[in-house]
Structures are given as structure tokens and as C-alpha cells.
Chains A and B, each alone.
Chain A
């Protein structure tokens, strides 16, 4: 464990150095994410011009949800996105060979090489929106809510990572995998919607348990901003779904590795 932390520390340093040498790019990426985020706020603004609430969610609760989704999504992008997105390319070119030869866990090796600093800034924007929404709702979360929100956010990041990692692992079978990255964005597109719009049918079950994108941001947002919801079952649901996603994606990775034959070079 200690060794892994040390290795991670070195890679983190390298990433920061690399990013700081492309400052214009760094600022532009921040601008991209900010624009997307602003677009979402405009979307909420337009929707709530026509209604006062969506299911049991008020406007500022939805803003809290979108801010939470931003925080979780950006933390995932900071730690893992660039690495996992690069996996299909490693498989296609056969560069994965070198990662497998490293004396560390293979999943760790492919998942942690780069760290996105710009995403950290955008995650902080998410935190700002969350605080702003809480103020508008006149809700001050107690230490207990915050103590549940932080691990819930971490579990959300784990779900993001597992789903994208499983998608990227499909590249062992499919050569060109840009479609898979597109798949990640499509799946998480519904993560920023309030859970109450999904009804209680098959759709909600599938996306709450099997591909648990609905619970990723909804449960942390409920834990933080809605003190009257029963917190423990919610947290247990998220923890269970995250554990399942992490376990299954790791099993899938090992299964895929066994059929890796490297690209002829």
C-alpha cells in the first residue's frame, strides 16, 4: 500500500509539471468545462420557468444536484479520465505490453498515470455551486450530513471510474473504441437529472443497480441537502452499487487481459 502511494505521488508530480508547461491549454480546458456547466444551469433556468418543482425536487435542490454531479464528474476526470480514455489506444498499439511488465497491479498501472489539474479547479466550481444552492435553500448541513456527503462523493467517483473502465476494457474486442468513450458521456448524461423523474419501472432499476448512474449524484445530493430523507439506506444503496461496479469491472479487466495477444509490432 505504501509503495503504491509513493508511486502515485511521483506520477502526480509529473502530471503537474507537464500541465504547467502547457498553460494556455490548461486555461482553455477550464473554459470548456465551465461553458458546459453554464449551459446546464441555463437548462435548469428554462425548465423551472415552466414548473415550480420536479417530483419532490425544487429548483435549488436540482441546482445542488447538478453542482454535486459536477464535483463528482470532475474529480473522476482529474484522477482517472485521461488514463482510462487512453486504454483503447494502448491496446490498439500494443503499448499495453509495457504497462503489464511493470511490477505493480496492472489496473493501477493503466489507471493512474496522469492527473488533470484543470479538473480540480472545475470540481471547486461544483463545490461553490453546491454551497450557493444550499444558501438559496436556507439549509445548513450539520457535521453528520457533511460526514456522509464526503464518502458518498468518493463512492460516486468510484462508480464513474468502474463504468468507464469497463467500457474501455471492451476495446480488447473492438478495435476502434471512440464509441465507448462516447458511451460514457451518454450514460452519465442522465446522472444529473433528479431521480424522481424516472418513475419506478425497469429503467430506474437498471440504472440504479446494474449501471448505477442515477444514484451517483442523486444520493450524495439527498444526503447533503435533504435532511428529512432517511440517510442510512441511501448511503448503503450507493455503497452497495459502487462495490458491485468496482468488483465487476475488475473481474472483467482480468478476464479481458487473459485474451490480450498484443499488437504485432
Chain B
């Protein structure tokens, strides 16, 4: 496979995103408001309670949420599914079908460049935030944790991307995919660790979350980084995550193949 063309796509993605730098900046800026709300509500909870919450104190909780912001910037696809769906709906897909290029590879390159640029642009506000809360930062004790967290993070990013891609493929069959995307979003939002760390939930829910894909989209790599999962639990978690990675990849790939057969190139 010729990787150079995908590197070119990566570069185009960078340039395209840079044209809309204001959009970026607004997102980064407004994104701070919910974070402030989260920090304030937990401050209030810890004040009221005067004790730990499931092993988190106030500092650990704030650090957890800072990590979610960082991970979110690094791996969560922002507009990929809408763009893919638009490619299909508006007939742009025809142009890709005749090119010697794998659409999944093309999209993955764009996703990579968006995420890279997004992370760089938001690096300043995120670094400022972390500096502001510098007393709360706890880095992993062992070097191996860094490596495992990085591997898990990469897998989480790919799972998120493949899910977004597979959902967008629905545009081959139905006109309007936004409702289905938002239904999945709401599950991801509450069950992947955005709203609160999953280990403060009741135990029976945690058991269910261990086998569902959502925790492996965000919470799991953070939990590794915070050294909350260790030993056998860590390895079985990584195994389940790998399973979900394969499953979502196969789904994304299969949906594309079936979709193309159904494709009618309207307006192409």
C-alpha cells in the first residue's frame, strides 16, 4: 500500500482545518464552561460530604476531569460522521470509488490530522488549565503505565472512529442519520466516563459496563493512567478492548462494502 497518498490527505486535512481556526478556538473556549461547572459541582459535593467518593478526593476528581478534556481533544471525532454522511448523500462518494484509494484509509488519515491539529490548538488552554490545577496532578508511578495507557488510548480513539464511521455508513440507506447519531452520543456521553468516573456508579452497573464498548472509548485508558486498574483486571480489560476494536473495525468495513453495493450516486 502506498502510504504517501494518505500522508497527502493528512496534510490536506491539516490545511482545511486551519482555514477554520476561529471555529476551533471558539470550541476550545466554550468547552471550558462545562468543565468549570463540573469542577464547581464536585467542590460543592466534597464540601458537603467531607469524605472520599469511591476512592476519589476532590483533587483526584478534578484531575480525572482534566484528563477527560485532554483525552477528548486527542481522540473524539468531531465532525467526521457528518462529513462522511454528506459525502454519501451528496454523491461525492462516486469520486472516491473511481480513485485508487481506500475510503476508510482516507477518512482515517483525515481523522488523524484533525485530531492532531485540534490537540495542538487546544494545547495552550489545556496546559494553562493543568498549570492552574498543578497541585492536583498525579503522574503514574511506573513507566510501564505510560505505555499501556498510550496503547489503550490509541485503541479508544480507533474504536470511537470506527463507530462514527459505521454510523455514517447508514447514510447509504437512510437520508437523515442525525437522530441515530445522537442516540448513540447520549449513551457515550453518560457511559464512557464524560459525566463522572464510572467507578463511582453502583457495582451492578459497573459489571455491565465492563463488557459494553462505551467504557473502552474513554474511561478505561484514563483508569489505566490513574493506576486504578491493575493486574489481571488490567489485562482482561485490554483484551476486551482489543475485541471491541476488532468488532468495530469489521463493522465499519462491512458496512462500507454493503453500502457501496446499495449506492446510487444521486447527484454525482
Q: Is B261's CB within 8 Å of the partner chain A?
A: no
Q: In B173-224, which residues have CB < 8 Å from any A CB?
A: 176, 179-180, 182-183, 186-187, 189-190, 195-196, 200-202
Q: Which residue, of B20, B33, B187, has the highest number of chain A Cβ atoms within 10 A?
A: B33
**Interface bits A195-209 vs B (CB < 8 Å: 1, else 0):** 011110001000000
Chain A contacts to B: CB under 8 angstroms: 22, 25, 28-29, 31-32, 35-36, 39, 42-43, 46-47, 49-55, 173-180, 182-183, 186-187, 189-190, 193, 196-199, 203
Q: Is B98's CB within 8 Å of the partner chain A?
A: no
Contact indicator B41/A187 (Cβ below 8 Å):
no
Number of interface residues of B (CB under 8 A): 36
Cα of A22 to Cα of B31 in the assembled complex, Å? 33
Given contacts A32-B179, A51-B48, A186-B31, contact A180 B43 (CB under 8 A): no
Residue in chain B with minimal CB distance to A183? B30
Shortest beta-carbon distance from B142 to chain A in Å: 30
Binds A, one of B4-12, B21-29, B133-141: B21-29
Contact indicator A178/B186 (Cβ below 8 Å):
no
Q: Is B44's CB within 8 Å of the partner chain A?
A: yes
Q: Is B34's CB within 8 Å of the partner chain A?
A: yes
Contact indicator A203/B36 (Cβ below 8 Å):
yes
Residue in chain B with minimal CB distance to A174? B22
Residue in chain A with minimal CB distance to B40? A197
Q: Is B127's CB within 8 Å of the partner chain A?
A: no
The one of A51, A178, A197 that contacts B79, using a Cβ cutoff of 8 Å: A178
Contact indicator B49/A50 (Cβ below 8 Å):
yes
Shortest beta-carbon distance from A180 to chain B in Å: 6
Q: Is B231's CB within 8 Å of the partner chain A?
A: no
Cα of A204 to Cα of B213 in the assembled complex, Å? 38
Cα of A26 to Cα of B30 in the assembled complex, Å? 30
Cα of A179 to Cα of B29 in the assembled complex, Å? 10
